[in-house]
Amino acid sequence: MVRIVRTADGVRVDPIGKLAGRGAYLHDKRECWMRGMKGALAHALKTEFTAEDRAVLEEFMNALPAESNGSSHVNG
């Protein structure tokens, strides 16, 4: 699971889980991130994504594996 956190500076990926702020988790699979980016992730973080937030999240998402071995879940 990868933690995403809403900070005063915007939404960030928190791979070590230590950043302060409201957090949510997604599996480390691209399809989970694609589903989360449709609204569930912003809702879990109680925010609306800015263009910069989307760019940060999409850059991380694009580096993730596309296949999930049959498991695709969004946890927010």
pTM of the model: 0.80
How far apart are alpha carbons 7 and 68 in whole angstroms? 29
Fold type of domain 2-75: Hypothetical Cytosolic Protein; Chain: A; (3.30.1230)
Cα→Cα distances 11→47, 61, 69, Å: 9, 14, 28
How far apart are alpha carbons 29 and 16 in whole angstroms? 17
pLDDT confidence bin for 66, thresholds 50/70/90: confident
Amino acid symbol at 63: A
Tens digits of per-residue pLDDT, 10-52? 999 998 989 999 999 999 999 999 999 999 999 999 999 999 9
Q: Is the pLDDT of residue 72 over 50?
A: no
Task: Give the residue, 66 or 71, on which the prediction is more confident.
Answer: 66
Q: Is the pLDDT of residue 76 over 80?
A: no
